[in-house]
């Protein structure tokens, strides 16, 4: 019996593994086996039977990045509400969303976001948006891993569903999630549909938060929630929930355990201790936080207390783009300035936030998030001849402090090449851009009416 043929080999790579000790393997070969997993990583040439070979020509190869908080469909509204705070931004955006969003519109916005993500080296996204069936359609087509579930809030939204119906729909979604994964041929074992996204503790009362918690327990579903983003939110939550912080409310409603908390800007010491104790992740979204003047998250303190901190872009309407390179740089630089200590958050720690820590947040760190034998091949090949990546004394520093989206040449997800020579292979870029541009007059008209 012959051994199954390898799928892909990458040669002459400077491999930034982001494994537990930050191993770098120079002039290496990576072999991806028939099962889409990395079969070997070692210096020099390796025997393989792969029909497809990418020659990295000495360039850096790193794990695909994980965007651990985003709203992909919001690309439709990019740049529509700028130079204002979160509350004013939401006041402008939410009526436009309700007026404009349909399944097809969310597909268009999400596909544009998938294109931007893949071209920029992002291989997995934790999405929170309306009409999540649209995101699944894009995931199945584009190759981007999208993890998502029903968006839960007390307003009807564009679906339109009052909260009671929304809860029933969420129950159906979770009940069918495994079947849907199979129907859409999404990769096994990633649990990518087993999510609930309660929007926040300011848009949900305790009764509904308790119902969501019970539903999550019943299905073993993961929780993705906004928490402690702005001073305005802290005051709303305090009024609505008897003087408690968002983290206290989530702990009291048993939603905090292993949850993904988007933002976590305004956390006191007790909040941080609770987050650590419950094994929750904070997804830091620096571009969104600084653009909206939401504040500076206590990332160094979260690290000290052992909290898993991942990185996110937030929605492209508040971000405004989907750029984890920018997020990495802002995360490191602002913490150094905020603490007056340039030694905090060294490059490898920041790179972990954009890769393996995101995988931990999504409970898939045994599958992806670093380049190690036995993990699925989700990886990014950077341009060996990029001026800003020349010379490279420390590859971790080069990736975090000098690389950008323009340096991404090839991207592999689940062992398949999805970006080759800076072109997305599964997305018709011109058609996607055209579809989104055709929606802009409708969006402008809806904003003018409100």
State how far the alpha carbon of 97 is from the alpha carbons of 135, 204, 404, in Å.
Answer: 16, 19, 31
Identity of the residue, 117 or 386, whose beta carbon is nearer to Zn ion in the bound complex: 117
Identity of the residue, 74 or 399, whose beta carbon is nearer to Zn ion in the bound complex: 74
Phi, psi of 380 (to 5 degrees): -130, 130
Q: Are 362 and 66 in contact (CB under 8 A)?
A: yes
Query: Is 233 a binder of Zn ion (CB under 5 A)?
Result: no
Choose the stretch contacting Zn ion; rule: CB under 5 A; options: 133-141, 311-319, 327-335, 426-434. 311-319
Q: How far from chain centre, in Å, is Cα 133? A: 18
Identity of the residue, 224 or 375, whose beta carbon is nearer to Zn ion in the bound complex: 224
Provide the pairing of β-strand 151-152 with 145-147: unpaired
Choose the stretch contacting Zn ion; rule: CB under 5 A; options: 51-59, 100-108, 194-202, 309-317. 309-317
Please give the Cα distance from 309 to 399 (Å, whole number): 19
- Shortest CB 312 distance to Zn ion, Å: 8
Of all residues in the shown chain, the one whose CB is closest to Zn ion is 314
Query: Is 181 a binder of Zn ion (CB under 5 A)?
Result: no
Phi, psi of 376 (to 5 degrees): -65, 150
Query: Is 19 a binder of Zn ion (CB under 5 A)?
Result: no
Query: Is 97 a binder of Zn ion (CB under 5 A)?
Result: no
- Shortest CB 303 distance to Zn ion, Å: 22
List of E strands, 185-338? 195-198, 222-227, 260-263, 281-284, 308-311
- Shortest CB 136 distance to Zn ion, Å: 20
- Shortest CB 62 distance to Zn ion, Å: 26
Burial class (CB in 10 A: 0-12, 13-18, 19+), 63: buried
Query: Is 314 a binder of Zn ion (CB under 5 A)?
Result: yes
- Shortest CB 406 distance to Zn ion, Å: 26
Query: Is 127 a binder of Zn ion (CB under 5 A)?
Result: no
- Shortest CB 350 distance to Zn ion, Å: 21
DSSP alpha helix (H) spans, 120-264: 132-142, 163-183, 206-219, 231-240, 246-252
Identity of the residue, 181 or 314, whose beta carbon is nearer to Zn ion in the bound complex: 314
Contacts with Zn ion, residue ranges (CB under 5 A): 314
């Amino acid at each position: 019996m012959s051994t199954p043929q390898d799928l892909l080999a990458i040669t002459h790579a400077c491999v930034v593994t982001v494994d537990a000790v930050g191993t770098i393997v120079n002039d290496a070969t990576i072999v991806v086996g028939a099962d889409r997993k990395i079969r070997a990583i070692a210096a020099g040439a390796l025997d393989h039977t792969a029909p497809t070979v990418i020659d990295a020509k000495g360039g850096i190869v790193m794990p695909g990045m994980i965007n651990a908080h985003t709203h992909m469909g919001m690309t439709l509204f990019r740049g529509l509400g700028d130079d204002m705070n979160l509350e004013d931004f939401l006041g402008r955006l939410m009526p436009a969303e309700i007026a404009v969003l349909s399944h097809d519109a969310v597909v268009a916005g999400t596909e544009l976001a998938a294109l931007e993500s893949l071209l920029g080296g992002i291989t997995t996204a934790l999405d929170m948006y309306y009409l999540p069936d649209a995101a699944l359609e894009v995931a199945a087509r584009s190759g981007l891993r999208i993890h998502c579930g029903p968006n839960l809030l007390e307003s009807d939204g564009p679906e339109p569903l009052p909260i009671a119906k929304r809860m029933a729909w969420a129950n159906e979604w979770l009940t069918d999630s495994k079947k849907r994964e199979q129907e859409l041929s999404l990769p096994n074992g990633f649990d990518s549909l087993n999510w609930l996204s309660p929007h926040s503790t300011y848009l949900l009362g305790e009764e509904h938060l308790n119902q969501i918690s019970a539903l999550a327990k019943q299905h073993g579903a993961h929780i993705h929630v906004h928490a402690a983003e702005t001073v305005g939110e802290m005051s709303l939550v305090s009024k609505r929930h008897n003087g408690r912080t968002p983290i206290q409310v989530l702990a009291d409603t048993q939603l905090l355990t292993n949850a993904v908390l988007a933002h976590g800007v305004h956390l006191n010491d007790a909040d941080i201790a609770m987050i650590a104790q419950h094994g929750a992740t904070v997804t830091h979204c620096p571009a969104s936080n600084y653009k909206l003047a939401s504040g500076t998250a206590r990332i160094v303190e979260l690290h000290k207390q052992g909290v898993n901190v991942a990185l996110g872009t937030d929605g492209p309407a508040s971000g405004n783009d989907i750029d984890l390179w920018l997020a990495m740089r802002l995360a490191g630089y602002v913490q150094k300035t905020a603490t007056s200590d340039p030694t905090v958050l060294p490059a490898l720690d920041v790179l972990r936030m954009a890769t393996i820590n995101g995988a931990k947040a999504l409970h898939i760190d045994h599958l992806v998030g670093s380049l190690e034998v036995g993990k699925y091949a989700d990886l990014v090949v950077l341009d060996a001849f990029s001026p800003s990546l020349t010379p490279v004394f420390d590859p971790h520093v080069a990736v975090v402090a000098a690389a950008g989206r323009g340096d991404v040449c090839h991207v592999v997800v689940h062992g398949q090449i999805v970006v080759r020579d800076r072109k997305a292979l599964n997305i018709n870029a011109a058609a996607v851009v055209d579809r989104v541009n055709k929606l802009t007059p409708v969006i402008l008209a809806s904003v003018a009416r409100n």
